[in-house]
Structure 1
Amino acid sequence: MASDKAFMDFVLEQIENAGLITYKKMFGEYGVYSNGKIFALVCDNQLFIKPTTAGRDFIGDVVEAPPYPGAKMYFLIEDQIENREWLNELIRVTVAELPEPKPKKKKTKNTRKNSD
């Protein structure tokens, strides 16, 4: 089941104070970014946060689940999704620990030489 835009809008509203937040729709679900770092997935209308040591320490009693079959385990945010202050702080500590995104390689045009 794909996530709906209304749920994604709710998540964005909840985390609006966590920094520069953007998202991309991917295969009916959403990737959530802060300053170019992907830190969360919204799948099946559930919020999954990338696991970090700082995030684990902040949450305490962590619930982990894969966002989709075959995925690595993420922190599943259920009860605290209504708590904006808590959620924004979780995102700040998580993003601070994540590595910077790798620079994208410049695309080169592949040209073929015609042999006559």
Structure 2
Amino acid sequence: MSSDKNFVEFIVDQIENAGEISFRKMFGEYGVYSGGKLFGLICDNKLFIKPTVSGRTFIGDIIEAPPYPGAKTSFLIEDKIEDREWLSELVRITVKELPDPKPKKRKK
């Protein structure tokens, strides 16, 4: 089941002061970005955040699950998606710890 675009837009609208937040459709689901860094996925109308040490400490009681079969586990965010301040802080913490995206190689 693919995610509902309204759910994706709701999640993006919840996040503030965490850089320019955008999303991109990927394989029927969505990748969520801050300043070009992929920090999360939305699959089956569920929010998954890339795991980081600081994010783990911030969340505390973590639920980890793969966003799709065969994927690495991520932090599954369920109960706090309507808590704008908490979710925004988690995104800021996560993005700060993630490496910058690698430059794309030019085609020859």
Mark yes or no: TM-score above 0.5.
yes
How big is the shift at 1:17?
A: 3.2
* Alignment partners' CA distance in 2, 1:92 and 1:48: 15
Structure 2 partner of 1:58: 58
Structure 2's unaligned 5+ residue stretches are none
Structure 1 partner of 2:87: 87
1:31-110 alignment runs, 5 A limit: 31-108=31-108
User: What amino acid is aligned across from residue 76 of structure 2 in structure 1?
Assistant: L
Report how many residues are paired: 108
Runs of 4+ in 1 over 4 A off after TM superposition: none
How big is the shift at 1:83?
A: 0.3
Residue identity (%): 70
* Secondary structure of 2:80's aligned partner: helix
Q: CA RMSD in A?
A: 0.8
How big is the shift at 1:15?
A: 1.0
Which digits, 9 at most, give the CA deviation of each residue in 1:59-103, with x for residues without a partner?
001110000011000000000001000000000000000001101
Structure 1's unaligned 5+ residue stretches are 109-116
Structure 2 partner of 1:114: none
Higher gyration radius (CA): 1
* Alignment partners' CA distance in 2, 1:107 and 1:23: 25
User: What amino acid is aligned across from residue 9 of structure 2 in structure 1?
Assistant: D
User: What amino acid is aligned across from residue 12 of structure 1 in structure 2?
Assistant: V
* Alignment partners' CA distance in 2, 1:53 and 1:75: 11
Structure 2 partner of 1:112: none
